[in-house]
Structure 1
């Protein structure tokens, strides 16, 4: 199917992009990597009057250090994020989750910020960003503002971004030396996760000093597995402790029902995947 007609704007700076969005109003769409937007346009599930292409805004790309944080540009591709040594050293959960996104073609075109702004609850990057306490850097006509991941994701495919705002970067607190693993389950290769779990553990002397665990596709937004975290902190990182903690994975969640499984199935799957992720994270 051919998309509906639209005007095309290709800014070279963030300021130009924000101005284009403000001028276009609510009928504008932002084009990042296009891996989610273009299929929707072709099926005419969206019909924007203006398309703002961020492909030529260099300041939106790259990874850098800023004190205790990493700053990941919103237009940095999944491939570049997963291979960046700063991400691997200081936010390994982000690197591991990004490696699982779709297929190599999508990872070379899709962008880190685009995935987060799309806010698909089955997307692989939302839960790790939430678990690590990421902060979204948003720019609009009124300037820049920081939005914690816990406030950024509002509902299915919905964020706190206003129509005239852009996600320009993501600040991720450093978790240097933490152990991590991302475990997902899907029925066919490259499909969206039915459920996935991101685990990041700070282990010292065999004891779990801190734990950050995010769940993918267990609610309309990414959620923290708080019950698991509380069961782990202060405990020895042994098999029995990990297994018992994983039983709390579904607490406080509200998984949906679809053709891939019902809520009960997803709840059980979350427990199993959390157990596997914890075991892999500690090297078991």
Structure 2
């Protein structure tokens, strides 16, 4: 199907992009890598009058070190995130999850910021960003503001972004020395997650000193498995401790039923995948 007619704009600065969105109003759409938006346009599930392409804004690309955080530009591709040594050294959970995103072709076009702004609860990067306590920097006509990941995802495909704001960069606190694992369950390769678990832990002398666990597709937004984290911290990194903690993975979740899985099966998957992810992470 052919998309509805729209005006195409390709600004070269963030300020110009924000200005274009403001002038176009709520009928405008932002396009980053296009891997999520283009299929929607072709199906006419969205019919913007203006399309603002961020692809020419070089300031939105790249990964840099800012002391206690790794900062990732919103237009940095999945491929670039996956290959970046700063991400590998200080945010291993992101590298783990990014490696499972779709296929190489999509990873070369799709962007880190675009995936987060799309806010698909089955998307692979939302739960890791939440587990790592990432902060998302957005820019609008009134300037920049920083939104914690815990407040950024509001509902299905809905974020804290205002109509005239764009996501500029993501600040990820360094988790140097932590071990991580992303466990994903899907029916076929490159498919969306039916359920996935993002786990990262720091151990000291065989004891779990800190733990972060994020859940993918267990609610309308990514979730932290706080009960699992509490059950792990301060405990020996043994199979028995991990198995017991993983039984709390579905606590407080609200998964939906669809053609892939019913509610109880998703809760079962959350417990199983949490156990696998943490076991692999603590093994280093």
TM-score grouping bracket, smaller chain normalisation:
over 0.9
Partner of 1:114: 114
Please list every run of 5 or more consecutive structure 1 residues that lacks an aligned counterpart in the other structure.
none
1:202 deviation in Å? 0.8
For residues 124 and 44 of structure 2, what CA distance do their matches in structure 1 show? Answer: 25
Partner of 1:203: 203
Partner of 1:167: 167
1:279 deviation in Å? 1.1
For residues 96 and 108 of structure 1, what CA distance do their matches in structure 2 show? Answer: 16
| Structure 2 residue matching 1:231: 3-state secondary structure | helix
Question: Is the counterpart of residue 76 in structure 1 residue 113 in structure 2?
Answer: no
Please list every run of 5 or more consecutive structure 2 residues that lacks an aligned counterpart in the other structure.
none
Partner of 1:282: 282
| Structure 1 residue matching 2:161: 3-state secondary structure | coil
| Structure 2 residue matching 1:198: 3-state secondary structure | strand
Aligned alpha-carbon RMSD (Å):
0.6
1:283 deviation in Å? 2.1
Cα deviation digits, residues 144-195 of structure 1 (max 9, x gap):
0000000000000000100100000000000000010000000011110000
For residues 248 and 184 of structure 2, what CA distance do their matches in structure 1 show? Answer: 18
After TM superposition, which residue ranges in structure 1, 4 or more long, deviate above 2 angstroms? none
For residues 204 and 82 of structure 1, what CA distance do their matches in structure 2 show? Answer: 27
| Structure 1 residue matching 2:30: 3-state secondary structure | strand
Partner of 1:133: 133
* Equivalence map 1:1-284=2 (5 Å): 1-283=1-283
For residues 83 and 282 of structure 1, what CA distance do their matches in structure 2 show? Answer: 23
| Structure 2 residue matching 1:79: 3-state secondary structure | helix
For residues 82 and 230 of structure 2, what CA distance do their matches in structure 1 show? Answer: 29
For residues 144 and 32 of structure 2, what CA distance do their matches in structure 1 show? Answer: 19
TM-score between both structures, scaled by the size of structure 1? 0.99
Cα deviation digits, residues 12-55 of structure 1 (max 9, x gap):
00001000000100000001000000000000000000000011
For residues 119 and 101 of structure 1, what CA distance do their matches in structure 2 show? Answer: 14
For residues 157 and 209 of structure 2, what CA distance do their matches in structure 1 show? Answer: 34
For residues 183 and 83 of structure 1, what CA distance do their matches in structure 2 show? Answer: 20
For residues 28 and 171 of structure 1, what CA distance do their matches in structure 2 show? Answer: 27
TM-score between both structures, scaled by the size of structure 2? 0.99
For residues 233 and 283 of structure 1, what CA distance do their matches in structure 2 show? Answer: 16
| Structure 2 residue matching 1:101: 3-state secondary structure | coil
For residues 263 and 255 of structure 2, what CA distance do their matches in structure 1 show? Answer: 5
1:67 deviation in Å? 1.7
